Structure 1
Amino acid sequence: MAIALSTPTLPALRRSKALTVDRRAARRLGPGRRIPGSRLVGPIAVVAIWSLASASGALDPRILPGPWAVLETAGHLWASGTLATDIQTSLWRAAQGFTLGLVIGVSLALIAGLSRWGEAFIDGTVQINRSIPTLGLIPLFILWLGIGESFKVAVIAIVVYIPIYLNLQAALTGIDARFVELAEVLGQNRLQFIRHVVIPGALPGFFVGLRLAVTGSWLGLVVLEQINATNGLGYMMFQAQNYGRTDIIAVGLLIYGTFGFLSDNAIRLVERRALSWRRALSS
């Protein structure tokens, strides 16, 4: 009786053993477990090499001062109040342009991704806009909007909306046809299909576009704040260039890099929480 009961369990044991072997092979062939704080390893290594090169004299301080000199300069600028004002101005410009670009990119992607007529009218126009260098539009935007804040926000919005549109629209149109057939079998209407199938399936592409857009907003801001600006981090760096102050330029670059790193990590955190269902399915 005991033998009869144990015999049917042999295939299950074999499958379990094979699954264990497959998982071990995947761990061996894959990149391995994620290292906590691994994204900080590279920046810390760069700062360490920079410090060693400056301390040993291999790096000329006229080309690039040491990290301690840059931090000292940042402290002086902060104490004088100019750095805080420039940071606040740059953050406000980036936030306005990013918000406007996000709204435009998501709206156009939803129209083009959920409607063939919308795709016909929108996608080609966006692709043409994508082919035109955004910074090449600056003279035209200055003529249209003047040299104030409006043209800066508009250019940042263009830089932001293009990657959001491209990735989200591709994700919306790339939904697996099997999911569409399943939704039809379940009798879902258009709104239910969009809510339960399209939006969850398009979220990974949306977050990819969002990360590229954040990076693009900082890159555009660096250039724009050196054109007819009276404040901001880019203006501070432009003025430092006129006086040969490489330490102030390094301060601005470090702040831009820090903002980009922190914003990218914030989006990654939201992405992990929003897409936690993917890890549950893969486990």
Structure 2
Amino acid sequence: MRFVKKVAPWLLPISLLLIWQFFAYFDWISSRVLPAPSDIVTSAIRLVSSGDMFEHIWVSTERALLGLAIGGTIGFIFGILNGVSKVSETIFDSSIQMVRNIPHLALIPLVILWFGIGEQGKIFLIALGVLFPIYLNTFHGIRSVDKQLIEMGKSYGLKKVALFTHIILPGALPSILVGLRYGLGIMWVTLIVAETISAHAGIGYLAMDAREFMQLDVVMLTIILYALLGKLSDWIAKLLEYRFLKWNPSYQK
């Protein structure tokens, strides 16, 4: 039964790949429209052998994680401040909500004018995209903590710091981790667009370079790489949920 649960999620993707290869083998799908999976695997082996693939993956991952660290930290801090303090919420929340409603990818022309076409602009876009889901979920999680638990903590003599670390933060953690998972998805989407801004390395650069030479198999490979990295980050986020939410009945085996 456990084996079936592990295999079941992969049945549909594998089936689609087999059908895709079957159609490509009999030329029912033109290679100019959609290259065969075998051609994509061949390109992947070539890039791995030359070492180029790992270099581009590392550059993209470094950009993504740096933007996540900056945007996630800012969003987390403001979420906590506005969640525990009415004064802070009054000062900051309205402004944050106004900026949140501006599509961050629409700021690309302005970002280029501010930062040029270097790394700073790409990291800024990723940080901006990640900031808001983590902020909103942190803020909502803290405000959703059961008031009776807080009162019980106070009755046991817990002071502000102890009350926050033992009751408020654990109670808000499920919502915070949901925000992290959502932010990770936005992180990769933003990275895809950001790496089209005159990048000299990274998966986006690899895709743009392949487009110039009509290497559709490499373009498809970059799309698959983004998908795999997104799946990996989501899997890590799930591990964090099970690690830090063992006390929650919903996350117990």
| TM-score, normalised relative to structure 2 | 0.92
- In structure 1, the residue matched to 2:109 is 139
Q: Which one has more relative contact order, counting CA pairs under 8 Å at least 6 apart?
A: 2
Unaligned runs of 5+ in 2: none
Match of 2:97 among 124, 127, 137: 127
- In structure 2, the residue matched to 1:28 is none
- In structure 1, the residue matched to 2:63 is 93
Match of 2:28 among 46, 58, 64: 58
Q: Do the aligned partners of residues 42 and 110 (structure 1) sit closer, same or farther apart at CA in structure 2, a change above 3 Å counting?
A: farther
Q: Do the aligned partners of residues 153 and 176 (structure 1) sit closer, same or farther apart at CA in structure 2, a change above 3 Å counting?
A: same
- In structure 2, the residue matched to 1:189 is 159
Q: Do the aligned partners of residues 42 and 169 (structure 1) sit closer, same or farther apart at CA in structure 2, a change above 3 Å counting?
A: farther
| TM-score, normalised relative to structure 1 | 0.82
Is the aligned partner of 1:256 residue 2:240? no
- In structure 1, the residue matched to 2:135 is 165
Post-superposition shift, 1:133?
Answer: 0.8
1:92-145 per-residue CA deviation (whole Å, 9 max, x = no partner) reads 111111111111111111111111111112211221111101011111122122
- In structure 1, the residue matched to 2:214 is 244
* 1:1-283 equivalence runs, <5 A: 35-279=5-249
Unaligned runs of 5+ in 1: 1-33
C-alpha distance in structure 2 between counterparts of 1:171 and 1:110, whole Å:
9
State the AA in 2 paired with 1:156.
I
- Partner SS for 1:244: coil
C-alpha distance in structure 2 between counterparts of 1:123 and 1:245, whole Å:
47
1:191-233 per-residue CA deviation (whole Å, 9 max, x = no partner) reads 1211111111111011111111111111111111111111211
Cα RMSD between the aligned structures? 2.0
Comparing 39-48 and 233-242, the one that deviates more:
39-48
Report the structure number with the largest CA radius of gyration.
Answer: 1
C-alpha distance in structure 1 between counterparts of 2:164 and 2:12, whole Å:
40
Number of corresponding residues: 250
| % identity of equivalent residues | 33
C-alpha distance in structure 1 between counterparts of 2:250 and 2:207, whole Å:
47
